A and B are shown apart, each in its own frame.
Chain A
């Protein structure tokens, strides 16, 4: 074969070599197209995946705490709430149910009766909150409006003219009613002086005081 090759001469050898090179280039060119396609596909798939990972795989921020510890705290807190509820219930029991109109009325009657029994001249005895009943659709709403104040209880404006002694007795008696009544505010406590009364006259009479109290039922 080598002898045959040498026998070809330079020109034919060059021609053979050129044809061989062209054949190789073309042949491999066709072959490489398939490989190139695979390479491009693989590369694109890889890039897509990397892109997806970059865009979608952002790890969520881990919670800064331990759920177990938190659950333990929750159990503890629930117990505290239950205790507080019990305690609160006990306290609430001492006050008239704010949504029970009849009991409230009964309590008011007791207050009025007590004042009367002590000879107090009641000038004003009314609910402190001015409830606009036209706008209310239910009793519950009315009750809620009644207790929507700083003390969370229905409030009664109580004004009277009485002696200091009667006032003290009245205040003492508030503790003994069917439900607890609390004088949450002394709106006014003032010595009442008639215009025509002088000092000497005043000395001879029982001193009258004007009292304004805010009572929480």
Chain B
């Protein structure tokens, strides 16, 4: 999840890098203001316009700077970042695993705890003397003179608490009331006694020349009250302040952006009332020392002492970013005393207005900080205001969102309703068309079916008629006409088949028989003659397509009961009929015997 988040952030940063962005950069060192319009694109940074102001009132100074910049650029950006010495910096060794940082709230609390002393020290820097000196109303020597006089008067006076530095300055004629009041006002604005600190942090993993890995946390903090003051101040000028950076370490991005990479170096920064020295290893801050500098000018001895603590044999070059004007002397003296090359921190950006070396370098450093801010690892900074609450928790959002949602709901309902209505009507039209087509088709089908039924009926009638006619014709031709020929022929065949030993007693067609056959009863003198008669008769019947069937020959008396012989009983049936079932003959014989008895 965290890997995904990192890659997402990198992608966003990359996307941001593609488009050119301009921002206002403001630098406030406690006494003077400088500002620039910085454009960043991909890995390039450009200062489009720069300006400076020494107005004592911060709002007036900001307004002045904006005015100056507006004259130099077509369109002034509305977003700004502020670099101020009011953000204290420290390199802390926190009990936090570098790979698993604690949640922001816990980190905040840890850092706040550590940086509280730093803030107290910072407040002490802004004495009235420092401010009078910084504003240029008195010199460093006069500042010292007033301080000595103050100390003398305090020790001589009984009520020592009532003697004030400003009063002595006025009394000595070194500063007027107005100047003292201005500096007192400035002091009030600079110093903060708010214990609520807002912190920023950046991990500094360092691998030294021996390959030992260590890490520290580069942290910064500003009081909540001061942050709110800055935010309000910029808002009044219709500028959206996004981030607040510490002014210390402003030279760091310039050094890391140098074309020739430096493995290890020392940097000395002089800001009003502060001396900052830090050791840089592979672009990471390995050590950081902050000292009070109440002498005004840079003291070579103090600088040497400060740098000597951090100096390592591997370091061959030192960099200077100093506030005082005689930096070339300092540069030469430090080089000779430390035996290293000492260079001034200077970028290669072009500035449009004439600024001091310190201001120019500071603006360059701020510009490079902005460029670093576009990468996945942003510079050390503090958000100008607490992140806004989620949108759903914002009551103002809902005040406007609800009416908008209502309008959207109305629009969607109306649109859907209209669409549904049009859709239903169109569908109804289609269905009606289909229905009428279907009805038409049904009517055609019904008509066809009717025609078909009618034709079928006629056909059936004709078939029936034909069958009747055929049956009738068959009856007339095959039965009635044929019988006229057949009956005498049959009788003749039977008669011709009889010999002297055979007599025929009876011949008849059973009225209710299902078989078209003629039963014959007769008598023969012998069994042989009987059989011979049957064979002969069968042979003769062949011409009539008849045959003898169901023959039964048994001993019996003749018709006059005088001669014993053999009674004959058989059927004459069409050839088409196979041998008849014995039961059939038996049944018929039985019925005939009964009828015979009845006849007698």
Give chain A's interface residues, CB within 8 Å of chain B.
13-14, 17, 20-21, 24-25, 28, 31-32, 35-36, 38-39, 42-43, 45-46, 49-50, 52-53, 57, 59-63, 65, 67, 70-71, 73-74, 77-78, 80-81, 84-85, 87-88, 91-92, 94-95, 151-153, 164, 167-168, 171-172, 174-175, 180-191, 193, 197-199, 202, 212, 216
Contact with A along B174-186 (1 / 0, CB 8 A): 0000000000000
Interface of chain B residues 68 through 86 with chain A (CB within 8 A): none
Which residues of B have CB within 8 Å of A17?
Answer: 399-400, 402-403
Which residues of B have CB within 8 Å of A53?
Answer: 431, 434-435, 438
**Residue of A32, A164, A182, A193 with most partner-chain B CB within 10 A:** A182
Given contacts A73-B459, A193-B559, contact A153 B507 (CB under 8 A): no
Cα of A38 to Cα of B547 in the assembled complex, Å: 94
* A65 contacts B508, C-beta separation under 8 Å: no
Given contacts A182-B479, A199-B560, contact A24 B406 (CB under 8 A): yes
Which residues of A have CB within 8 Å of B499?
Answer: none
- What distance in Å separates the Cβ of A130 from its nearest Cβ neighbour in chain B? 15
Interface of chain B residues 44 through 75 with chain A (CB within 8 A): none
* B507 contacts A32, C-beta separation under 8 Å: no
| Chain B residue at minimum C-beta to C-beta distance from A217 | B480
Binds A, one of B138-146, B202-210, B348-356, B468-476: B468-476
Contact of A94 among B432, B442, B451, B481 (CB under 8 A): B481
Contact with A along B476-508 (1 / 0, CB 8 A): 110111011101100110010000000111111
Contact of B475 among A20, A49, A151 (CB under 8 A): A151
Cα of A31 to Cα of B411 in the assembled complex, Å: 12
Cα of A135 to Cα of B154 in the assembled complex, Å: 170
* B511 contacts A184, C-beta separation under 8 Å: no
Given contacts A77-B459, A85-B469, A187-B509, contact A171 B449 (CB under 8 A): no
Interface of chain B residues 430 through 482 with chain A (CB within 8 A): 431-432, 434-435, 438-439, 441-442, 445-446, 448-449, 451-453, 455-456, 458-459, 462-463, 465-466, 469-470, 472-473, 475-477, 479-481
Contact of B491 among A60, A62, A171 (CB under 8 A): A171
Given contacts A35-B414, A87-B473, A193-B560, contact A42 B424 (CB under 8 A): yes
* B445 contacts A59, C-beta separation under 8 Å: yes
Other 15 A-B pairs with CB < 8 A, given A21-B403, A88-B476: A21-B406, A24-B406, A25-B406, A32-B417, A35-B421, A46-B424, A60-B449, A62-B445, A70-B452, A81-B466, A91-B476, A94-B476, A152-B472, A175-B484, A189-B491
* B448 contacts A184, C-beta separation under 8 Å: no
* B428 contacts A180, C-beta separation under 8 Å: no
* B487 contacts A186, C-beta separation under 8 Å: yes
**Residue of B403, B432, B469, B485 with most partner-chain A CB within 10 A:** B469
Contact of A180 among B403, B481, B508 (CB under 8 A): B481
Cα of A70 to Cα of B463 in the assembled complex, Å: 12
Which residues of A have CB within 8 Å of B431?
Answer: 46, 49-50, 53
Given contacts A74-B462, A171-B491, contact A49 B432 (CB under 8 A): yes
Contact of B484 among A35, A38, A151, A180 (CB under 8 A): A180
Q: Which 5 A-B pairs have the closest CB atoms?
A: A63-B452, A84-B469, A42-B424, A171-B488, A199-B560
Give chain B's interface residues, CB within 8 Å of chain A.
399-400, 402-403, 406-407, 410, 413-414, 417-418, 420-421, 424-425, 427-428, 431-432, 434-435, 438-439, 441-442, 445-446, 448-449, 451-453, 455-456, 458-459, 462-463, 465-466, 469-470, 472-473, 475-477, 479-481, 483-485, 487-488, 491-492, 495, 503-509, 511, 518, 558-560, 562-563
* B508 contacts A74, C-beta separation under 8 Å: no
Q: 16 A–B contact pairs at CB < 8 A?
A: A13-B399, A17-B402, A49-B428, A49-B431, A57-B438, A84-B469, A84-B470, A84-B473, A168-B492, A180-B484, A186-B518, A189-B508, A191-B503, A191-B559, A199-B560, A199-B562
| Chain A residue at minimum C-beta to C-beta distance from B469 | A84
- What distance in Å separates the Cβ of B556 from its nearest Cβ neighbour in chain A? 15
* B427 contacts A190, C-beta separation under 8 Å: no
Contact of B463 among A77, A172, A182 (CB under 8 A): A77
Cα of A80 to Cα of B428 in the assembled complex, Å: 56
* A39 contacts B456, C-beta separation under 8 Å: no
Which residues of B have CB within 8 Å of A63?
Answer: 448-449, 452-453
* B417 contacts A52, C-beta separation under 8 Å: no
Given contacts A24-B406, A191-B503, contact A184 B562 (CB under 8 A): no
* A92 contacts B509, C-beta separation under 8 Å: no
- What distance in Å separates the Cβ of B357 from its nearest Cβ neighbour in chain A? 46
* A74 contacts B459, C-beta separation under 8 Å: yes
* A43 contacts B506, C-beta separation under 8 Å: no
Given contacts A17-B399, A190-B506, contact A95 B439 (CB under 8 A): no
Contact of A189 among B406, B414, B492, B506 (CB under 8 A): B506
* B441 contacts A59, C-beta separation under 8 Å: yes
Which residues of B have CB within 8 Å of A172?
Answer: 488
* A151 contacts B445, C-beta separation under 8 Å: no
Given contacts A185-B509, A188-B508, A189-B508, contact A65 B466 (CB under 8 A): no
Which residues of B have CB within 8 Å of A202?
Answer: 560
Which residues of B have CB within 8 Å of A175?
Answer: 484-485
* B445 contacts A182, C-beta separation under 8 Å: no
- What distance in Å separates the Cβ of B209 from its nearest Cβ neighbour in chain A? 62
Which residues of A have CB within 8 Å of B473?
Answer: 84, 87-88, 91
* A199 contacts B563, C-beta separation under 8 Å: yes
* A49 contacts B469, C-beta separation under 8 Å: no
* B469 contacts A81, C-beta separation under 8 Å: yes
* B403 contacts A152, C-beta separation under 8 Å: no
| Chain B residue at minimum C-beta to C-beta distance from A35 | B417
Given contacts A32-B417, A191-B506, A193-B560, contact A182 B452 (CB under 8 A): no
Which residues of A have CB within 8 Å of B562?
Answer: 198-199
Which residues of A have CB within 8 Å of B459?
Answer: 70, 73-74, 77
- What distance in Å separates the Cβ of B264 from its nearest Cβ neighbour in chain A? 57
